[in-house]
Structure 1
Amino acid sequence: MMSTRRPAGALAAVLITAAATSVLSTPAHSAPPEATSKPPARAPVTCFATTCDGLDPIATHCVDDAVTIDDATVEGRIIRLRYSAECRAAWAQLWFGKPGDKAWVRAEDDDGNTVAKRIITVRPGDENSVYTLMVNDKDLRAHACAELPPDSNTACTFYY
């Protein structure tokens, strides 16, 4: 009596061929190649210059185009002056801070008068990095500083 069963090897070959064909074939409705190479759209910033003063750089999307202008170190901490050209605003970012450390950003006019200053104090449980709220930097200059207790050792960036 002849068997009507196919050998297991033949069945496996058919299944492998079917799987390879479905994996390697292009779907009928795939996106055109140029559509997949575009960068994702950025959210628009929500403030500019004076309207950014006192606001959060992340919430306003000013952080999206931000650059580090300068940084300084003091006792293992790094203070950075961050700047957004799109928002025309600046803020301080402190890395490796410890509870009680302070970071601030200060904006001043051409005569050296303080126009705005934003301060943050590192609290227990804060992550590796803290940052201040923003100051307007349009037609002003700003710098960032870190101050460490108990002796108030201080490091500052240059003005920008």
Structure 2
Amino acid sequence: MKTYARRFATAGSALVLAASGLFMASTPASAATSCLGSTCTGKDPATTTCQNDAKTVTTSILGTELRYSPSCRAAWARYPGGTDWVHTIKVENSQGNAYSTRFNGGGGGAVWTRMVNDKDIVSRACATDDGGYACSSWY
């Protein structure tokens, strides 16, 4: 009888451990990576936790936003979409790091660049359309 009880207890413990693993499984939010400052350079904000606390801190006259994440200390350019005349957006920081995204207008959804370090330096968002080039203020 003791052997049966021991096997039952062992099997029960295994089931409890397996069930707890299901509850602790990765969620979409926890599956995103985190970075800070220079370790964010070149990463897509949509695949990091940086997007969670991001805010638009300045906007160019062409509507390109500079997005900034205080927790990641990183920045990126985003164009919210809706018109078809902005064709390239770019983010750059004062250390010369820059990323751009080219797209075919058409009034589609938002597009964004990869991130640049914004820890203890400044960044800005720029856009190019058929008529020229415009940047936001540095932030």
Partner of 2:71: 86
Partner of 2:6: none
Match of 2:134, SS state, is strand
Matched, 1:138 2:119: yes
Q: Deviations over 1:111-130 (max 9, x none)?
A: xxx2x000000136783210
Task: Tell me how far apart the structure 2 counterparts of residues 120 and 105 of structure 1 sit (CA, whole Å).
Answer: 9
CA RMSD, aligned part only? 2.3
The answer for unaligned runs of 5 or more in structure 2 is 1-28
Matched, 1:67 2:55: yes
Q: Deviations over 1:2-33 (max 9, x none)?
A: xxxxxxxxxxxxxxxxxxxxxxxxxxxxxxxx
Aligned residues with identical type, % of pairs: 34
Give the TM-score taking structure 2 as reference length: 0.70
Q: Which has the larger radius of gyration?
A: 1
Task: Tell me how far apart the structure 2 counterparts of residues 138 and 86 of structure 1 sit (CA, whole Å).
Answer: 10
Partner of 1:14: none
Match of 1:62, SS state, is helix
Give the TM-score taking structure 1 as reference length: 0.61
Match of 2:45, SS state, is coil
Q: Deviations over 1:109-154 (max 9, x none)?
A: 4xxxx2x0000001367832100000000121100011113x4x12
User: Which has the bigger relative contact order, CA under 8 A and spacing at least 6?
Assistant: 2
Partner of 1:37: none
How many residue pairs get aligned? The number is 110
Task: Tell me how far apart the structure 1 counterparts of residues 122 and 73 of structure 2 sit (CA, whole Å).
Answer: 11
Deviation at 1:82, TM superposition (A): 0.3
Task: Tell me how far apart the structure 1 counterparts of residues 54 and 134 of structure 2 sit (CA, whole Å).
Answer: 21
Deviation at 1:58, TM superposition (A): 1.3
**In 2 relative to 1, CA 121–99 (structure 1 residues): closer, same or farther, beyond 3 Å?**
farther
Give, as a single letter, the amino acid of the residue that structure 1 aligns with 2:137: F
The answer for unaligned runs of 5 or more in structure 1 is 1-41
Tell me which protein shows more helix as a share of its residues: 2
Task: Tell me how far apart the structure 2 counterparts of residues 100 and 70 of structure 1 sit (CA, whole Å).
Answer: 17
What pairs with 1:10-49 in structure 2 (closer than 5 Å)? 43=30, 46-49=34-37
